Amino acid sequence: MKGLNTMIVEDQSAIRRNIRSILEKSPNVGSINESAGVVETLAILKQYQPDLMLLDIRLKDGTAFDLLNIIGPFSFKIIFLSSHQEYALKAIKFGPLDYLLKPVNTNELLDLLQRVATNFTGKEKNIIVLSDADCLHVVKIDDIMYCHSDNGYTTFYLSNGQAILTSQHLKAYEDSLPKNVFIRPHKSYLINYHYLQKYRKDGFLILRDGMEIPLASRKKESILEYINNL
């Protein structure tokens, strides 16, 4: 496996240098890129696609949370960096691999990089296993058109017309499906953007099969920005 394309987002240059020196010791790391703030990171991400981002909470022109909210759905893994534990709870909602306190311990980071690399090898799955009342279904992620949640159950609608009802809430699947492919335009829906055909201005996303997915008003700006950047 090629090394992980890794980005260090940290406002203090001395800390960036220290983290880079640790990363360079790891055989699991490939290219390394650096930035100090939100605006700079956004510019780099137009050209550079990291597998892993080591992300400081407090940046020179905002916070890690500002950055991630602007980016929207993302596929790279995150390790948060901070000098304080106070942000850990807020950070959890972004599904980080870990939350490291600064100064970063060399052995701790190297061990974590090894685990990340292992997960990338064979674990960037193109399948998902879904359980209904009768059996386990092995489903290609690319075949999932959209998911609909109702009363704690989630139904998967596939491109072949099959529907699979599971007993898990949509949130469980949102966290496991690739964030660069699946977007959540409404609290009850998760859709694969590859099956998105158009946005209708009365507030609905139209899929290729004609299915109309409501777009929540609070999600409209971020989802349309995401679509415009496809």
Kindly report the CATH number assigned to the domain that includes residue 224.
2.40.50.1020
How many separate domains does the chain show?
2
- Reading phi first (left if > 0) and then psi (alpha if -120 to 50, else beta), residue 203 is in left
Q: Which of 92, 123, 154 is the last residue of a domain?
A: 123
Neighbours of 203 (CB within 10 A): 15
30 shares its domain with 110: yes
Residues 10, 75 within the same domain:
yes
Q: Where are any strands of DSSP class E within the chain?
A: 4-9, 29-35, 52-56, 58-59, 62-63, 77-82, 98-101, 127-131, 136-140, 144-150, 153-158, 163-166, 182-186, 189-192, 196-200, 204-207, 212-214
Domain that holds residue 203: 127-228
C-alpha to C-alpha distance for 138 and 147, rounded to whole angstroms: 16
Q: Which residues of the chain register pLDDT less than 70?
A: 1-2, 119-125, 175, 230
pLDDT digits (tens, 9 = 90+) for 30-77: 999 999 999 999 999 988 889 899 999 999 999 999 999 898 777 788
- Are 119 and 132 part of one and the same domain? no
Domain termination site, one of 78, 102, 123: 123
Using the 3D structure, point to which of 74, 94, 123 is the last residue of a domain. Answer: 123
Tell whether 137 and 221 lie within a shared domain: yes
